[in-house]
Structure 1
């Protein structure tokens, strides 16, 4: 079976994307601790890596990024408040480029043919989620390994996302719940770091809307 490396946060998008790819690829998950407030997502990632039977799951500590990002965004800054709807302050500068670079480096060493992340059609406000970005990054990475690819030592990779398949967050939920059942409600979406989802941040609101649009009763426990 072909191999794929998936950026695996423990949220709905990455867990459902992994569910979608599971029958097609031998999956290797990679999660990142980058100084985010929502450190509970790492706990969720560990749990779902086991549930999905990932071949291997790496947690990579890049906490130094927090000092580089400073107060540029609300996800790593302690000073800035998290908004309830989209605001550009939520965008962590080229976060997915950082994640995908490291994931692709691992993919080349594994001779994996796919690097996946959970960006979907609802992520249109995030530039590093868009298919145009993924295609350019894919081209750049393969160019960076072109001699190894041409010699047969490396496989060229494709960067896959639900967005490139035209899948929405609700579409992903419908796929994921078939594989994961009620455990899907234990995925972690919240931008805050509390015992339960806050129910007020942009990510929690997107989560609620996705369940509603998918006509799935949302059993996630929210503070509000």
Structure 2
């Protein structure tokens, strides 16, 4: 019998490919967060990701109140600011993965899952809450928060895992996803904007274009530019 894993899914390229990597080893339960992001098209894409991966369950959690708390701290929830074309710290949503992980791990404990995963890879090193140091310390904190249940055998100890944890780059992750899922990977949503098509200019779109060029797979994503 496969172990259970909770996968945090944004609806993007990385989360789909992460799911493809984990699926042979785990029964996957997906969780997606509507946190007030300007790219609300992520939610529809996350539903596609869940269907493609044939998840056991997929929950979409509305935490839109976070947009008010974040205020003008970042460009992903504040639509008044323009999106940068290269990495800039304005892209960093304060401890976003920590917020997601706390909810996802609570669900994992109730499911008796043994793993909680999110799609950070080695190319995400610019983001503090994507680094292995963060995921390792999160694991320690969450398990400490349920230590009595774990000792009593009521809860499974949970591992917080990312592709970064296994040393996987974006290129390696996308290759895995493409081998498993083919052209379905092009139906994901990476853009920070909420335009009809990928804008092609924002930092995330540029990263998407770059990875397909690097691994020599024809990019079938439709971009505005």
- Measure, in 2, the Cα distance between the counterparts of 1:146 and 1:183: 40
Q: Secondary structure at the match of 1:73?
A: coil
In the other structure, the counterpart of 1:158 is 159
- Measure, in 2, the Cα distance between the counterparts of 1:173 and 1:215: 11
| Superposed displacement of residue 40, structure 1 | 0.5
- Measure, in 2, the Cα distance between the counterparts of 1:153 and 1:99: 23
In the other structure, the counterpart of 1:206 is 207
In the other structure, the counterpart of 2:130 is 129
- Measure, in 2, the Cα distance between the counterparts of 1:48 and 1:102: 20
In the other structure, the counterpart of 1:12 is 13
In the other structure, the counterpart of 1:99 is 100
In the other structure, the counterpart of 2:62 is 61
In the other structure, the counterpart of 2:191 is 190
| Superposed displacement of residue 207, structure 1 | 0.6
Work out the number of aligned pairs and report it.
224
- Measure, in 2, the Cα distance between the counterparts of 1:214 and 1:143: 41
Which structure 1 residue ranges, 4+ long, deviate > 2 Å from structure 2?
none
RMSD: 0.5
Instruction: Give ranges in structure 1 of 5+ residues lacking alignment.
Output: none
- Measure, in 1, the Cα distance between the counterparts of 2:49 and 2:152: 37
- Measure, in 1, the Cα distance between the counterparts of 2:223 and 2:109: 40
- Measure, in 1, the Cα distance between the counterparts of 2:179 and 2:204: 23
In the other structure, the counterpart of 1:83 is 84
Instruction: Give ranges in structure 2 of 5+ residues lacking alignment.
Output: none
In the other structure, the counterpart of 2:179 is 178
Q: Secondary structure at the match of 1:32?
A: strand
State the TM-score, normalizing by the size of structure 1. Answer: 0.99
- Measure, in 2, the Cα distance between the counterparts of 1:168 and 1:208: 15
State the TM-score, normalizing by the size of structure 2. Answer: 0.99
- Measure, in 2, the Cα distance between the counterparts of 1:142 and 1:51: 31
